[in-house]
Amino acid sequence: MPYKKVIAVGDSFTRGDELANCPKQLHEYLFPFQYSNSTWSASIAKLRDYDYECYALGGIGNQWISWKIADKLEQDTLVIVNWTWFERFDYIDTDIDVWKTTHSRHEDKLNHYFYRNLDSDIWNLHRNLQQMHSAISLLKQHNIDFIMTCLDNNYCADFSTIRPPGSEVSAHWKNCITNLQAQVVPHIVDFEGISFLEWSRHNNFEFGPNGHPLEKAHIEAANYINMAITEGKINGH
């Protein structure tokens, strides 16, 4: 169906970091959003003659992404979501009223305490699947078409690889995770069975020094997704 616009939500891979025409992110939470018009999601809009808006921040997590999806519900739009890595944890810094994100590679005291004492693989999987399921349900409830991809393959991970089997709590976690996966996994679009990042590496596309696929990868990804839409393999539902 025709749409008024494409709305893309995600992190630096959606923003287009390291693409030639991507404005520098001067501040983590600078508004209005600054982004490249050469990403594969922007190219989908061009190929189909739709307007394009992008709400993406480098280094952000899935809590923020799901929040922004709920913030930008509009009829007659195609929403493209690029879920990011599950280890990231978003929170509100109440002193300055902005979103912030923890990263395991950061060396400050908060991140060190969080990843040493509070973080776990099973918790990351559970909370991210919940966020993804919430966004899917919200978009479907409002009859908004969407395309979702994911950089982190843990969304479809076998439970036994996340938590050792045998404990009493394990059975309860398994039920929870597998039930959420059953609702989420069918809505995730991949690139020939792998993520956009892995697909770009597999095809030997050029990368920037900070690990982001460059123009050729985005052009080919747009062609791949656009063809899938044309062939009815992706219908937004």
pLDDT band at 33 (very low <50, low <70, confident <90, very high): confident
| Tokens matching residue 11 | 């992190």
Cβ partners under 8 Å of residue 96, min gap 6: none
Task: Specify the pLDDT at position 27.
Answer: 55
Asked if residue 113 belongs to a domain, the reply is yes
- Rounded to a whole number of angstroms, the CA Rg of the chain reads 18
> Rounded distance, CA 82 to CA 213, Å?
14
> Rounded distance, CA 11 to CA 82, Å?
7
| Tokens matching residue 196 | 């956009």
- The residue assigned the tokens 């996994």 is 185
Position with higher pLDDT, 123 vs 4 = 4
Give tens-digit pLDDT for 156-167. Answer: 877 666 665 555
Task: Specify the pLDDT at position 95.
Answer: 82
Give tens-digit pLDDT for 37-93. Answer: 999 999 999 999 999 999 999 999 999 999 999 999 999 999 999 999 988 888 888
Q: Which of 28-32, 56-60, 139-143 shows the lowest per-residue confidence on average (mean pLDDT)?
A: 28-32
Asked if residue 103 belongs to a domain, the reply is yes
Asked if residue 236 belongs to a domain, the reply is no
Asked if residue 105 belongs to a domain, the reply is yes
> Rounded distance, CA 85 to CA 103, Å?
10
> Rounded distance, CA 118 to CA 196, Å?
30
Task: Specify the pLDDT at position 152.
Answer: 87
| Domain range enclosing 86 | 5-230
Q: Structural domain tally of the chain?
A: 1
CATH number of the domain encompassing residue 10 = 3.40.50.1110
Asked if residue 94 belongs to a domain, the reply is yes
Asked if residue 235 belongs to a domain, the reply is no
Cβ partners under 8 Å of residue 191, min gap 6: 149, 198, 199, 221, 224
